[in-house]
Amino acid sequence: MTAIERPPTSLGDIDEESVALILELQRQDGELLGSAAKGKQLEGSALSDSEMALNLHLEELSMASVSFSDHKIAKSIQTAIREDADTLKKLSDEELMATQDRNLSLELSGNPASKSEDVGAAPPEGVGIVEDGDAELIEKMTCIYVTGEHDGLQEGSVAGQEAEGSAWAASRPHRPRECISCGDRYHFTDVSRAPCQHEYCRQCLRQLFEGSMLDESMFPPRCCKRPLPLDKNLLFLPEEVVKTFREKAVEFSTPNRTYCHRTGCLAFIPPSRYVNGVAHCRDCAASTCVSCKGISHKGDCPHDESLQQVIDLARSEGWQRCQNCWTMVELGTGCYHMTCRCGSQFCYLCGTPYVLNYRGILAKQCHCAEWDEHRLLERAEEIDGRDHVDQVLVDDVAVANAHAERINRIMQNLRENHECDHLRWRGRPGPRECEECGDEMPLFIYECRQCNIMACRRCRYNRL
């Protein structure tokens, strides 16, 4: 008995020529039916239900034709991108290999290559390089928009194996990917890969971008200190999130920002709306002085008594003010190297900003002390207390000496690692409080092996 073939369930299951023929025949039938009905109703009379239904049907056919045409164009462009990407990658590899061979020959012949011709130098200008992240993004777009395949949680080849053609890569099964944030597993088209190779599902990625717009210390959204590029995540983010993020990017990149002075508005006013020292709010049309941040006025800015009181309090308490966004900053623990939530770095004692040196590293420009010994001692006592909570100090020389030795060792470690990059972590059982966001972690928390700061999972990957 011959098996019954399953009929196509959508236009995506039919070849392009058949789809075009179906749409054209339906359009011709609809126009023929519409022309036959013309002249049979009174002039100026409302359309009948059948006529209205026919018009809607013709509109839907027109939109389907446009959508089908767009799909063909997109498929053609995507195919060209995949084919060109493979070609450019091969050209890039060949040029790089030729450069390395030439430099090696020069070195063996006693005529070393110049610095501009070092082994491993970048390929010549004009030769494109397709990065792994770009290749995977192309593969995901191909799977979603061209092949239409979504193979669920099938097991397949593991990422990082020998390179393969984009056309084949788009059609083969993929192993499920684990989101670094929530730990759930998803189809590879539903996760975005960060520059550090960690992957985020659509929901966690959206939460990360939205969270960065609410908490400036997490802007730009990043993982392992490397920013997540917006242009490579447009596939995974809703349009309204992208629009708001771009607006926030302008706000957070503006030094000495101006916000609407009206308490009922307080909207950010971009520099493009400054005219002669006056910022014009696009939300409520109010005018705000760019200098004093109050209502616009003529002449010199009026004295702000409340602001002066805050400045006097900050001076008496030893607080510092960020020279980029003018936010008041108070040092709790740690060294005098401060990082404001806006990203600006400066000395807590004198306020001098850190400047990029010749190696591209932010370097201190003043001669102030690096830390306060009293604060350092307090921090060492706090760290030591994590492992000796139940220790009762008694008049015992051995106990006192052991405690003093631990404190000295911790203080020395803090001096050596006060500019810590937080590269090595260990887990500690909870409940513990994150020292960055203040949230309590009931089960476990991360502790840096170098500087001993404790951070939750989100702060470890997306803030520090």
The tens place of each residue's pLDDT in the chain, 464 residues long, gives 444 444 454 555 577 788 788 888 888 887 888 777 665 565 666 777 787 888 888 888 888 887 777 777 767 776 776 667 667 777 777 888 888 788 777 777 766 544 444 444 444 444 344 455 566 676 676 666 655 555 443 433 334 333 444 444 445 556 889 999 999 999 888 999 999 999 999 999 999 999 999 999 999 999 999 999 998 899 899 999 999 999 999 999 998 899 999 999 999 999 999 999 999 999 999 999 999 999 998 888 888 788 888 888 888 888 998 888 888 888 877 789 998 888 889 999 999 999 888 777 788 899 998 888 888 999 999 999 888 766 555 567 788 888 889 999 999 998 888 888 898 999 999 899 999 999 999 999 999 999 999 999 999 999 98
pLDDT digits (tens, 9 = 90+) for 379-418: 999 999 888 766 555 567 788 888 889 999 999 998 888 8
DSSP single-letter state for residue 336: S
Enumerate the β-bridge partners of residue 178. 185
DSSP notation for 179-205: -TTT--EE-GGGEEE-TTS-EEEHHHH
Using CB atoms within 10 A of its CB, is residue 214 exposed (0-12), middle (13-18) or buried (19+)?
exposed
Measured CA to CA, the distance from residue 269 to residue 262 in angstroms comes to: 12
Write down the pTM of the prediction.
0.66
The dihedral sign for the CA sequence 292, 295, 301, 307: negative
pLDDT digits (tens, 9 = 90+) for 168-213: 444 555 688 999 999 999 988 899 999 999 999 999 999 999 999 9
Residues in the chain: 464
Measured CA to CA, the distance from residue 346 to residue 351 in angstroms comes to: 6
- Of 310, 280, 275, 274, residue with least CA distance to 295: 280
